[in-house]
Amino acid sequence: MFVKVCGLSTPESLSEAVDAGADAVGFVLTASPREVSPEQVRILLPLVPAGVHAVGVFRHESAADAVAKAQAAGLEWVQLHGHRTAEDVKTVHDAGMRLIRAVTMGASEDEFADLGEELFLVDAAVPGSGESWDYGSVRAKGLDGREWLLAGGLEAGNVAFAATAAGAWGVDVSSGVESSRGVKDLARIREFVEAAKA
């Protein structure tokens, strides 16, 4: 199971995620309680070992703006939320970067098509709510054979059930490993990664 821990902002939380076995770590470079600056990311990046993907997360920014900000942060991966096009994917790839394209369960059917992104992410209909939802409903979206991440309302206690119900290739967590909004809990990070990997 591929595991991404998102919204990291301190050396302690980043090191805990990596030490626990996370495959990817996310830095929020858009307006959010978890937002960090490109300068902060550059300070944290030396703590990310080879083989672990460091991802810049964006919401409403254009693909070009996201790429520029991610490059300023020293990142090679971009995660784009919202309605995106094949041209957006091309913009990321033309910059020599890799893409996680994120949609919500409320997105239109055509947004679930494969646009050539490296990884696909399916979030709850209301992203960031931290509430669990009908994970099994993702199976109707026809994602078999694709490398995709399940997100939304996940925590150590439900990640195994949710990933199995959805048929997910990987999982992404943020609020489910926090003690309060935007504040990561080191024990919860480790528990989540271990539960997902198990």
Average pLDDT score over residue span 86-109 = 97
Distance CA 137, CA 71 (A): 36
Average pLDDT score over residue span 10-32 = 98
Distance CA 90, CA 83 (A): 15
The one catalytic residue among 23, 88, 123, 172: 123
Find out whether 2 and 23 touch, Cβ atoms under 8 Å. yes
Tokens of 70: 């991610």
144 counts as catalytic:
no
Dump pLDDT digits (tens) for 155-195.
999 999 999 999 999 999 999 999 999 999 999 999 999 99
- Give the β-pairing of 170-173 and 148-151: parallel
Dump pLDDT digits (tens) for 106-124.
999 999 999 999 999 999 9
Find out whether 125 and 134 touch, Cβ atoms under 8 Å. no
Average pLDDT score over residue span 66-76 = 98
**Is 164 in a helix, a strand, or coil?**
helix
123 counts as catalytic:
yes
pTM over 0.75: yes
Distance CA 96, CA 16 (A): 29
Average pLDDT score over residue span 145-157 = 97
Q: Per-residue pLDDT for 79 more than 70?
A: yes
The one catalytic residue among 6, 23, 88, 172: 6
